[in-house]
Amino acid sequence: MTADRDRGSAATEYMSMIGLFLFVLMVCFEVYAGFTAVEKIEDAARTGARVGSMQNVGAGRVAAENVMPAWLNERSVQVFREGDAVVCVIRAKVPVLAPGVPLDFSITRKVQIPVGG
């Protein structure tokens, strides 16, 4: 009698846990993508400021734009001279689920390097 009542319970438990597992996996992927985006934007800001300090601000802007990943939304790069330093400010929106889904979060990074440094 108990064997008939327990039929399919293992499959039901497995299916309920697979949804939770997929959700946790998606959250881990999104956290990884966020940290990767922060690292890539920081690298682009350093590259823009470094190239801008050695060449000119136009070359720094182009270098920063070339380093940034294409999957970021609404990117803006500003490279300008401030006193005896070159400043690169990058703002970008990181897509949370996929590009085009309006659940983005913004990242801003600013790097300042002395001219000729």
Cα→Cα distances 11→3, 23, 68, Å = 14, 19, 46
- Confidence at residue 69, expressed as pLDDT on a 0 to 100 scale: 86
Q: How far apart are CA 60 and CA 80, in angstroms?
A: 9
**pTM of the model as a whole:** 0.76
Q: How far apart are CA 42 and CA 100, in angstroms?
A: 23
4: three-class secondary structure by DSSP = helix
At 64-113, the pLDDT tens digits run 999 998 888 788 999 999 999 999 999 998 887 766 667 778 889 999 99
55: three-class secondary structure by DSSP = coil
At 36-67, the pLDDT tens digits run 888 999 999 999 999 999 989 999 999 999 99
